[in-house]
Amino acid sequence: MDQALQRAVDNGVKNLVVQPTHLMHGAEYDELTEAVESYKDKFESVTIAEPLLGEVGDSDDAVNDDKKAVAEAITAEAVKTAGYDDLDAAEADGTAFVFMGHGTSHTAKISYSQMQSQMNDLGYKNVFIGTVEGEPEDTACEAVIEKIKEAGYKKVVLRPLMVVAGDHANNDMAGDDEDSWKSQFEASGAFDKIDTQIAGLGEISSIQDLYVAHSKAAIDGKSASTAN
């Protein structure tokens, strides 16, 4: 980040807009804002756009237009990839979808609970949010398995809730080790079929459009953080 900022200075940039590719206002977003703040005096204006899920909010059920757009986009893509016409058809077939994020001890971890609330608000009864780190606790693999068992679904589709499908998606989610999510779901003996979809959020065109919209909002002065 420091190199990119210095390059902007060297190239004579006066008004800087930074678009984070982070999912939320977490630790990495904080690190980015600190780096940008250290350079703010070198520009006439510096604006930092919103991360993908927008403002965090204060409670588990605090949602916003960004979370709604993301929830709709990722669910539609997962349903299509799984070969269903719509989410209702998947539910009728006994299929649940699990979106696995990273998880964090940062206060922004509430964003995962908010995404589950958003799925619930949309009536997506067979969509569940989980995290590798199990933070918040009810997003841990064991907790998600129990929720799906209680709901009665016998087929599960695992997909990353991450901008890029890297090590976590390939190993923590879909790997063959006994502690991977796929292996834990299989070991539970509660499900007839476990499928994995290895694709990052950044591959979805409507998610790309949302990032562009955030950048435009920042340019128009409706940003997360502005330093003049």
Residue 227 confidence (pLDDT): 53
Q: Are strands 95-101 and 15-18 parallel, antiparallel or unpaired?
A: unpaired
Q: For the segment 134-170, what is each residue's pLDDT rounded down to a tens digit?
A: 999 999 999 999 999 999 999 999 999 999 999 999 9
Residue 57 confidence (pLDDT): 86
**Average pLDDT of span 44-57:** 94
> Contact at 8 Å (CB) between 217 and 50?
yes
pLDDT band at 193 (very low <50, low <70, confident <90, very high): very high
Tokens at 98, concatenated: 């699990």
CATH topology identical between 1-55+205-220 and 65-203? yes
Q: Which residue has the tokens 């953080």?
A: 225
All structural domains of the chain with their residue ranges: 1-55+205-220, 65-203
3-class secondary-structure state, position 143: helix
User: pTM here?
Assistant: 0.93
3.40.50.720, 3.40.50.1400, 1.10.10.10, 3.40.367.20: CATH of 65-203: 3.40.50.1400
CATH class of 1-55+205-220: alpha beta
Tokens at 183, concatenated: 């292996």
Contacts of 92 (CB under 8 A, 6+ apart): none
Contacts of 205 (CB under 8 A, 6+ apart): none
> Contact at 8 Å (CB) between 201 and 70?
yes
For 70, what's the count of Cα atoms within 13 Å in the CB-facing half-sphere? 31
